[in-house]
Amino acid sequence: MSKSVQPKDIIIQIQKEKIEVVDLRFTDFLGIWQHFSIPAQNLSEDDFKDGFGIDGSSMRGWAQIHESDMLASPVADTAFLDPYSQVKTLNIICTISDPITGERYTRDPRNVAEKAENYLKTIGLGDTAYFGPEAEFFIFEDIRYDQNEHEGYYHIDSVEGEWNTGKSEGPNLGYKIRHKEGYFPVPPTDKHQDLRNEMMLTLQDVGIDVECQHHEVASGGQAEIDFKFGKLLNTADDLVKYKYIVRNTANKHGKTVTFMPKPMWNDNGSGMHVHLSIWKGDKNLFAGDKYAGMSDIALYAIGGILKHAPSLLAFTNPTTNSYKRLVPGYEAPVNLAYSSRNRSAAVRIPMYHSSEKAKRIEFRCPDPSCNPYFGFSALLMAAIDGINNKILPGEPLDKDIYDLPPEELANVPQTPGSLREALDALEKDHDYLLKGDVFTEDVIEEWISYKMKHEVEALELRPHPYEFSMYYDI
C-alpha cells in the first residue's frame, strides 16, 4: 500500500472490499511477529491513535508483571491483505506504547528503528539510510527434533538432499544436489522452482518489490529471494513480512522453511548480507573518488562497522547457531576487513555497477535470525560513529585469504567465535548505540541478560549428541 495511507483510508478499504477481520501485529523483543484479531467492523479511526490494550509481561524480554499493560497502535501505511486467511483479512503492523505516559515503549523494536532514522536526520549527516538485505533460508520436507533429560536429537529431510540418493521414494527419480553444488541448477535438479516462484509473486502481491529468486549453494533446499532496498524502517517491516510469506507459502504445500543460520553440518549456512548507503537529498554520500569509487564518508562508515563489529554482531548474529556459520577457514565472512572482491571479508564493496547511485557497502556477517529493527539500527549507528569520528578502516584485504601466510593472517582480526563472546563485547562497547537515545541502557541490558540466560547458558548446560560419539567410551 502507499506510504501516505491514512486511518480513514483503511476504514474505507474495509467497507469497500468487504474485509471481515483485521489482524493486528507487532514484533516482539527477539524479532518474531505476534498478533491478535478483531472484527473489521469494530475498527475505528480513533483506534489508530488510542490503540488496543495488550499484556506486555507475556512477551519474551518485555515488561514485568507489575507493569504489564501496554497499547498496540496500528500504523495505517503498513496494512496489507493476508494471502492465507480463509476469510478476507487485513493485516496491520502496530507500535507499542505505555498507556499511562503515552510514550513509546523502549523495547519495541520498531521504536528503535524509528529513532535510528531520526538520529541520522537530527545530526544533519543525511536524510535517508537505504538497506538491502539478502536473506537465505532452507526448504525442508520434514523436520523432527527433541531435547530432554535423557535424549537430544534432530532429523531433517529434503527431497533434494544428497543423502537421499539411495532412498526408496516409490520411485526415486534421482537428481539430488551434491553438498555445496546447489548454486543455480535448473529443474528437475532444482525441485523448488515453482514454490519459490509462488513465494516471489505473493511477495509482489503484498507490496514487496522482488528483484530475483534462485537456489542457493547448499544441498537440501537452500534458497534466496532478494527484494529491492528501501528505508530502514520500511525494509525491516518488509523483512518480517517476507518471513511470514515464505513460511506460509511453504506450509501451504506441505513443506517447512527455516531461517536458522546453520541447520546442516558440512554444507553452507544461511546468511543475510546487508547492503547500506546513506543519502542526503538526491546525493549518495557513499560515492566518491577513493578506493573502489567510494567516498571518505563511506570509508569512515566501514571503519566504524569494523571497529564495532564484535558488539554489533550481538544484534546482527544473535543466536548460538549463528556462530556455527561464522567459522574461519570457509567462505564465511569472518575477517574484519574490507575489500571490493574478497567475499571472506566482513565488508565488501559491490562492483557490479559503476553508477554513483549504486555505490554502497555490503556487510556480509549478518544472518536472517536477527531482529531486523535492532540489526539494521545497530549497523547504522556503527556506521554513523565511524563517520562522526573519522575512523579509518585501514588497508583493503584484496588478497586471497586462503593463500595468506600465517604471520600475515594473524594481523587480520576476526569476528567473535560465539554468541557469548559477542554479548561480552556488547557489554563493553555499546556507547555508540546510545547516541540520540536510539538504543537505551534498558534495551542493551535486557538483550544481554535474556540471551545469556535463555540461549547461551541453556545450550552450555546440555550434552551435545556428538559428545557421545567422542566421549562415551572414555
Catalytic residue among 117, 134, 198, 267: 134
Of the candidates 189, 186, 139, the residue with the CA atom closest to the CA atom of residue 162: 189
Identify the active-site residue in 237, 362, 367, 455.
362
107 is annotated as an active-site residue: no
Q: What is the DSSP letter of 81?
A: E
3-state secondary structure labels for all residues of 128-191: EEEEEEEEEEEEECEEEEEECCCCEEEEEECCCEHHHCCCCCCCCCCCCECCCCCCCCCCCCCC
Name the active-site residue from 28, 114, 117, 136: 136
Spot the catalytic one: 343, 353, 454, 464: 343
Whole-number Å distance between alpha carbons of 331 and 119: 35
For residue 262, what are the CA distances in angstroms to 56, 243, 267, 270, 324? 31, 17, 8, 6, 6
23, 127, 216, 446: the catalytic one is 216
Q: Please name the amino acid found at residue 284.
A: N
- Burial (0-12, 13-18, 19+ Cβ within 10 Å), 352: exposed
Residue ranges in 2-134 assigned as alpha helix (H): 7-16, 47-50, 109-122
Helix (H), strand (E) at residue 339: strand 335-339
Give the residue among 307, 337, 363, 370 at the shortest CA–CA distance from 113: 370
To the query of whether residue 134 is one of the catalytic residues in this protein, the response is yes
Q: Tell me whether residue 364 is one of the annotated catalytic residues.
A: yes
Q: Is 273 a catalytic residue?
A: yes
Distance CA 368, CA 366 (A): 7
104 labelled catalytic: no
Instruction: Please say if 308 is a catalytic residue.
Output: no
Catalytic residue among 17, 55, 194, 445: 55
Q: Would residue 403 show up in a list of annotated catalytic residues for this protein?
A: no
Nearest to 265 by CA among 375, 369, 179: 179
Degrees (nearest 5) of the Cα angle 405, 305, 111?
Answer: 150
Distance CA 289, CA 301 (A): 16
Enter the DSSP assignment of 9. H
Asked if 364 and 271 count as a contact pair (C-beta separation under 8 A), the reply is yes
Is 216 among the residues known to form the active site? Answer: yes
Here the cell at position 218 is 547448499
Task: Pick the catalytic residue from 25, 192, 360, 364.
Answer: 364
| Cα within 13 Å of Cα(167), Cβ side | 13
- Is residue 136 flagged as an active site residue? yes
Task: Spot the catalytic one: 160, 198, 224, 226.
Answer: 224
Q: Which long-range contacts link 461-469 to residues 24+ away (Cβ below 8 Å)?
A: 462/147, 462/152, 463/152, 464/152, 465/152, 465/153
Parallel/antiparallel/unpaired status of strands 69-74 and 52-55: antiparallel
Residues recognised as catalytic: 55, 134, 136, 216, 224, 273, 343, 362, 364
